[in-house]
């Protein structure tokens, strides 16, 4: 696990971006995150990027308590505990056949979490897992899923990450995303607020 840290002289948001959280998705995600790293750091605050928590490991869902008993899960909790980011973004990749289950409204019934919302080109967005939300270790937690075999999604992910890096307040991050994807982000926020109430976190 390699950690890339960019720290500005100006105070600001602490942003943590982590890819390759389980299985073999690190092979795909780290290539995009390495390109993002080459662009440099933020004008204010701090940016921490972990391109791949693991390149290859037994797949355990991040929605399961068992995940946080794995080596990858413990590493993730250590990162969150150490940096206590204002914004936490975890980046996954999914196979084509998983798209329907990730975006189905029945995901709440089957998995206990809201469906992800497609922004464009197969890039999906949603909230962090309930297990992480309950830790209180970050202010805004976002899960992003990109197709494992779709190069077109790379540019969409990079645009999202640049917004997280370059905006100087959480409200600015959300505002910029709302400008780009008004319908999708409104739906994602509505699902998140309903979900927070269900978890008793509101």
CA–CA distance, 55 with 57 (Å, rounded to integer): 7
Record the pTM.
0.93
- The token duo for 86 is 């204002």
Instruction: Tell me what pLDDT residue 202 has.
Output: 57
What the chain holds in terms of domains, given with CATH numbers, is 4-199 (3.40.630)
Instruction: Tell me what pLDDT residue 1 has.
Output: 80
DSSP string, 89-103: EEEEEE-GGGHHHHH
**Any residues with CB less than 8 A from the CB of 35 and at least 6 apart, and which?**
154, 158
Instruction: Tell me what pLDDT residue 201 has.
Output: 66
Instruction: Tell me what pLDDT residue 112 has.
Output: 82
Instruction: Tell me what pLDDT residue 195 has.
Output: 80
Q: 137 and 80 in contact (C-beta within 8 Å)?
A: yes
pLDDT tens profile 79-115? 999 999 999 999 999 989 999 999 999 988 888 888 9
Tell me, what DSSP letter sits at residue 52? -
CA–CA distance, 100 with 120 (Å, rounded to integer): 15
Sheet holding 140-147, edge to edge: 4-7, 46-50, 14-19, 87-94, 140-147, 123-127, 117-120
150 dihedral zone (left: phi>0; alpha: psi -120 to 50; beta): beta
Low pLDDT (below 50) residues in the chain? none
**Rg from Cα positions in the chain:** 16
Q: Count Cβ atoms below 10 Å from residue 187 Cβ, excluding itself.
A: 16
Instruction: Tell me what pLDDT residue 12 has.
Output: 97
Q: 20 and 76 in contact (C-beta within 8 Å)?
A: no
Tell me, what DSSP letter sits at residue 23? T
């Amino acid at each position: 696990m390699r950690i890339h840290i960019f720290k500005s002289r100006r105070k600001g948001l602490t942003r943590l971006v982590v890819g390759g959280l389980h299985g073999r998705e690190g092979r795909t995600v780290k290539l995009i995150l390495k390109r993002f790293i080459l662009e440099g750091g933020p004008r204010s605050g701090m940016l921490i990027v972990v391109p791949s928590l693991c390149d290859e490991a037994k797949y355990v869902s991040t929605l399961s308590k068992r995940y946080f008993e794995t080596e990858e899960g413990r590493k993730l909790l250590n990162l969150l505990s150490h940096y206590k980011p204002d914004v936490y973004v975890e980046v996954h990749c999914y196979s084509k056949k998983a798209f329907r289950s990730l975006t189905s409204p029945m995901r709440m019934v089957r998995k206990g979490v809201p469906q992800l919302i497609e922004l464009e080109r197969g890039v999906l967005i949603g909230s962090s897992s309930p297990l992480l939300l309950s830790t209180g270790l970050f202010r805004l937690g976002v899960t992003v899923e990109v197709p494992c075999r779709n190069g077109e999604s790379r540019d969409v992910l990079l645009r999202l990450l640049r917004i997280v890096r370059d905006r100087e307040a959480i409200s600015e991050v959300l505002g910029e995303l709302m400008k780009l994807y008004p319908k999708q982000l409104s739906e994602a926020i509505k699902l998140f607020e309903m979900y927070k109430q269900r978890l008793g976190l509101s």
